[in-house]
Amino acid sequence: MKFQNAVKRISSRTLLYLVLIGSSFLMVVPFYWSLSSSLKLEQFVFANPPQWWPNPLTLENYISVFTKIQFPRYFFNSVLVAVVTTLAHVFFDTLAAYAFAKLAFPGRDKLFFVMLLGLMIPFQVNLIPLYRIMAMLNWTNTYMALIVPNLTSIFGIFMMRQFLMTIPNDLLDAARIDGCDEFRVFTKVALPLALPGIATLIILTFMGTWNDFLWPRIVTSSEELYTLPVGLAQLQMKNTSNVAQIMAGTVLTALPMIIVFLFMQRQFIEGMTAGAVKE
């Protein structure tokens, strides 16, 4: 019996590892193909049979990205918009989530339910009204239009509320007894305990803002305000789809997201798995 259980356990683990290795392979190969294509000459990108290793290896595509489009300017715009938006999400989403999770006020649950209904409305439905508001405020083709509509999100509030609800109320009550006002309870007790959830919010918000194409393309008309996704689209139109150069720009665009995840992956995993195991 023990031998059979051991065989079953080894078989199940082997199957699990094979599935994980296979899924990891499927995720890594596209990125590797983009990286290798960015180091090839254009005529070898779609060579048959495929070249898995660039031969000859060249940095010409990366040089072209910096010379044919305003890549440093696009990069600066993306960093500015993504960082400001992410910091705003961390503050406003977490603060609103704390109110919905830990403060008692009339109509709290009904208000939260009504807010969640907004998740059912696609962004495209709000696109025209939101653009008209930006035009009325004379914010079109400005950083305000890129940043202000994205300062908070319903999903971020919902996610942080679910995380903050796992914090024991006794800890918050102890801080109140010690003389802390509600904002200090939030900043000194709730925020430090919510770091894994905040890390998850940071990664998801940064990634969504960094990759956003539709809204920046609509509200900006000057190349000085283009973000990286919009700028790379310009590269495609200007150079008749030079795939190798587009892959070089894509690799450079992906690097900040990879760096952010590498620095915060432990907190991100903790935040994603919070509440999955009960003691």
DSSP 148: G
**Is 149 within 8 Å of 134 (Cβ atoms)?**
yes
Between the CA of residue 111 and those of 108, 118, 141, 219, what are the distances in Å?
A: 5, 11, 34, 31
Nearest in space to 87 (alpha carbons), one of 165, 154, 143, 152: 152
Q: What is the CATH number of the domain that holds 139?
A: 1.10.3720.10
Domain count, the chain: 1
Element containing residue 21 per DSSP (H, E): helix 2-38
Is 186 a domain residue?
Answer: yes
Is 167 a domain residue?
Answer: yes
Is 33 a domain residue?
Answer: no
Residue 119: domain span:
68-273
pLDDT in tens, the chain (279 residues): 666 677 777 888 888 888 888 888 888 888 888 888 888 887 888 777 877 888 888 888 888 888 888 888 999 999 999 999 999 999 999 999 999 988 888 888 899 999 888 888 888 888 889 999 999 999 999 999 999 999 999 999 998 998 888 888 888 888 888 888 888 888 888 888 888 888 888 888 998 999 899 999 999 988 899 999 888 887 765 545 678 888 888 888 888 888 877 777 676 666 555 544 444
Q: How many CB atoms lie within 10 A of CB 67?
A: 9
Is 183 a domain residue?
Answer: yes
Angle at the Cα of 47 from the Cα atoms of 42 and 52, rounded to 5 degrees: 95
Element containing residue 144 per DSSP (H, E): helix 143-147
**pLDDT, tens digit (0-9, with 9 covering 90-100), for 157-175:** 998 998 888 888 888 888 8
Is 48 a domain residue?
Answer: no
**pLDDT, tens digit (0-9, with 9 covering 90-100), for 7-65:** 777 888 888 888 888 888 888 888 888 888 888 887 888 777 877 888 888 888 888 88
Is 60 a domain residue?
Answer: no
**Is 78 within 8 Å of 227 (Cβ atoms)?**
yes
Rg from Cα positions in the chain: 24
Is 56 a domain residue?
Answer: no
Is 269 a domain residue?
Answer: yes
